[in-house]
Structure 1
Amino acid sequence: MSDSLTRRLNDEKYKNWMKTGQVLKILLDDILVPFAKKRLIEFHECLKQKDPYKKICQSCPEKKEPPTSCKTCTTWKNNILKEHSNPQRGVKWTNIDPKIWPKSIWEVAKTYMPKGQQPGVYSPDTSSVLNFILLCKIFKDKRIGDKMIKNVLQVRNAVMHSGMNISDEHFKAHVNTIKQMMNILRTCIDDTDAIAALKDVDGLLKVNIKIIDDAVKQSVSGNSTQFKQKEENLISQHFMAIDEELRSIDDAATYERMKKDFQKSLSVFFKANPDLEDFGRFKGARIGLQFEERQPIVRRRDDLDPWWGWNLPYVRPNDREMYPVAIDLELDYEYQQPIYVELGSHLL
């Protein structure tokens, strides 16, 4: 077991971060999405009935407000905005492909979401679903309350900006906030699966917190597979939240400042945990985050098996006096990073 993994297993604040992320994921997957989706399907059917044209637009561009010349998209837009609790706030048209409103329930939902979504596709996340519930009037009779939604959004933001460290005090407060939303939803939800999930809120929370505790125990016993898998899932979720946050920012100066803040905190974390560094760099590169440069990896080309060569041990630059030969540049396709490969004397 690596020293950095051992340190994380004994770091209560890091484990609190993992547990809070796990509880937020259960809230999203098992409760918020079923709750929102059922009402969204009903809303979508009402919008269809209000469309007198019954046609699918073929011409309106994505990421732009539909022109008034398109009667179909204009009808859908007007009826959707009638249910927006704050239309003056403005619709983020970069989220949307309006011509698929009649076919996609989530494309309709994205009209109420903050900037950061992609037209034509949707992968649910806590922030966007909660904003949809907050701003769409179809949920106003469901007794959730704007304050409660904003409190859970604050938990999500606190987790994202925590530097992957949450104190015991904040962990208890975060879980209590999530628990309050679960108990409120239990009184107004009618999805069968979600009802089952909410039947015992305390039990649900204990089970999902125990998942992390059991993974820690297995790692201490020598089997770290479950813990590492859970870590990577939660870190991937963390990067997705960062990506959404950055894409939602309109001001260029704010965007650069936030991006640098994320880069700094993540760089510190991955530098302290080298067993996760390659995974973190790979995930970061996908959303445009670049961490501080590290020494390039050097391998001898004549040591590389043509099929499995990338699995051979690395030769670091400080060993280059052993190989005073030319350098070629190749790409490590697993992590999409440059690898400097020694050509080997017999190839010169």
Structure 2
Amino acid sequence: MGLEELALRLNDREYKNWLKAARCLLLLREGLHPFTSHHMRAFHADLLNQNSLLRKPCQTSCRPRGTKLCRPCSEWHTVILKHHRQPDATVNWDNCSPPHWRTDHWELAKAYMPRGQGKKTGADQCDASALLNLINYCDCFGSMDLKCVREVIRYRNELMHSCEFCVKDEWLRCYQTTLKKLVRQFSHVPQMAAAGRQIEEMLGIDLSICVSGWDQMDFADTDRLESDSLSQSEISADLISKWEAELLQERLQELLDTTTAAAAPDDDDDAKTQDAEQLKRLSGFLQANRDLADRFSAELQAIKSLEARE
């Protein structure tokens, strides 16, 4: 099952740090899903109530990069920029389908997100970065500590862009402090409170101890963690392998989405180059680990196809 290879990877303390930090982003994402979806649904409804032109359907099947938008879609375009905290920043219009702005609150949300969100149809399909960028850029999210939000985004980018999938202990401590500060802003949201507890538990787990008995079905009671709701005996190597695969799958999909989305002629060449380099590094990491190469064989083949077309 590849548990030997997993155990070897987890002998590297800085890889374990990367794995735990990245797992926290998935937990954060789960907590943010209902909060962001609820806010955007209410925001969308308010816009429709305040402006009758926004309630009119698209008249010409407008495209996000079309030379001319119909009057209702043009009004949506104006309103989106009006509620953008930094309207002079790059807005990723390719994320959106203008004819659906009137009927779908998440098509509106995607205008405030990073590239590569075009196929996402709801909050539950978006990663933590997309949701945090939405909060950062859309002014419907009220009195948030945006500096803290941007700090978590910065940590997330450093984590996901790590060439070696490794982070140091000091980085992890600073990251944990910033995550705590962010989660406290959502103390009124039950899902975020739960995510905060799970994040604390995740950061307290010693994954190397979990895998030290990879050849056993269960762990001895003496191996239990000091935790209220997570214990050593409850965390199998198979579960850790599943966490790792989920993290790598999300990163792979993000890079494949953005690489494909970067085909527009006026996209930033530097962004294209960076995405291609990140995809190459991730591909190399997967191929260097036999178990991961087997698990992600289809994705690796897709990467080869992309490289062959360049």
TM-score, with structure 2 as normaliser: 0.77
Partner of 1:207: 201
Report how far residue 40 of structure 1 moved: 1.1
Q: CA RMSD in A?
A: 3.0
> 1:24 Cα shift?
1.0
Find the aligned partners of 2:90 and 2:104 in 1 and give their Cα distance.
21
CA contact (8 A) 1:152 1:178 kept: yes
Q: Given the superposition, is the C-alpha separation of residues 261 and 219 from structure 1 closer, same or farther in structure 2, using an over 3 Å criterion?
A: same
Question: Match of 1:230?
Answer: 243
1:41: how far off? Answer: 1.5
Q: Does 1:259 align with 2:276?
A: yes
Contact 2:3 2:237 in 1 (8 A): no
1:237-282, Cα deviation, whole Å (9 max, x unpaired): 221343355467623355235413541x334423431121122342
Distance change >3 Å, CA 80–CA 66, structure 1 → 2: farther
Q: Read off the aligned partner of 1:73 and give its amino acid letter.
A: C
Do 1:96 and 1:120's aligned partners in 2 also have CA atoms closer than 8 Å? no
Question: What does 1:49-128 align with in structure 2 at a 5 Å threshold?
Answer: 49-53=49-53, 54-57=55-58, 59-64=60-65, 67-68=68-69, 70-118=70-118, 121-122=121-122, 123-128=125-130
Q: 1:78 to 1:268 in 2, by over 3 A?
A: closer
Whose relative contact order is higher, 1 or 2, with alpha carbons under 8 Å and at least 6 apart? 2
Inter-CA distance 127–287: structure 2 relative to 1 (3 Å threshold): farther
Q: 1:112 to 1:65 in 2, by over 3 A?
A: farther
Query: What residue in structure 2 maps to residue 197 of structure 1?
Result: 194
CA contact (8 A) 2:161 2:278 kept: no
Question: In the alignment, is the contact (CA less than 8 A) between 1:22 and 1:209 conserved in 2?
Answer: no
- Contact 1:56/1:72, CA 8 A, preserved across alignment: yes
What is the rounded CA distance, in whole Å, between the counterparts of 2:103 and 2:17 in structure 1? 41
Q: 1:272 aligns with which of 273, 281, 288?
A: 288
**1:96 Cα deviation after fit:** 0.8
- Residues in 2 aligned to 1:111 and 1:288: alpha-carbon distance in whole angstroms: 31
Q: TM-score, normalised by structure 1?
A: 0.70
Q: 1:240 to 1:218 in 2, by over 3 A?
A: farther
CA–CA distance in structure 1, aligned partners of residues 205 and 306 of structure 2: 32
Counterpart amino acid of residue 64 in structure 1? R
Contact 2:57–2:102 (CA under 8 A) maintained in structure 1: yes
Paired amino acid for 1:17 = W
Q: How many residues in Structure 1 have an aligned counterpart in Structure 2?
A: 280
> What is the identity, as a one-letter code, of the residue corresponding to 1:148?
C
- 4+ aligned runs moved over 6 Å, structure 1: 288-292
Distance 1:224 1:60 in 2: 51
Matched residue, 1:340: none
CA contact (8 A) 1:97 1:119 kept: no
Note closer, same or farther for the CA distance 1:80–1:17 as it changes in structure 2 (3 Å cut).
same
Distance 1:21-1:291 versus aligned 2 partners, 3 A rule? farther
What is the CA distance between 1:19 and its match in structure 2?
Answer: 0.7
Distance 2:143 2:304 in 1: 39
3-state SS in 2 of match to 1:142: coil
The residue type paired with residue 125 of structure 1 is D
Q: Structure 1 274/290 Cα, relative in aligned 2: closer, same or farther at 3 Å? A: farther
Matches within 5 A, 1:24-43: 24-30=25-31, 32-43=32-43
Are 1:23 and 1:175, in contact at CA under 8 Å, matched by a contact in 2? no
- Answer whether contact 1:97 1:107 (CA < 8 A) is retained: yes
Q: Secondary structure at the match of 1:35?
A: helix
Q: Map of 1:1-348 to 2, 5 A cutoff?
A: 3-30=4-31, 32-53=32-53, 54-57=55-58, 59-64=60-65, 67-68=68-69, 70-118=70-118, 121-122=121-122, 123-139=125-141, 141-145=142-146, 147-162=147-162, 163-186=164-187, 190-194=188-192, 196-197=193-194, 201=196, 203-209=197-203, 213=207, 216=211, 219=214, 221=216, 224-243=237-256, 246=259, 250-252=267-269, 254-256=271-273, 258-263=275-280, 265-286=281-302
- Bigger proportion of residues as strand: 1
Query: Which string of whole-angstrom CA distances, capped at 9 and with x for unpartnered residues, describes residues 273-312 of structure 1?
Result: 11211223423444668799xxxxxxxxxxxxxxxxxxxx
Q: Taking structure 1 as reference, are residues 96 and 112 closer, same or farther at Cα in structure 2, changes over 3 Å only?
A: same
SS in 2 for 1:57: coil
| Distance in 2 separating the partners of 1:120 and 1:77 | 20
Larger radius of gyration: 1
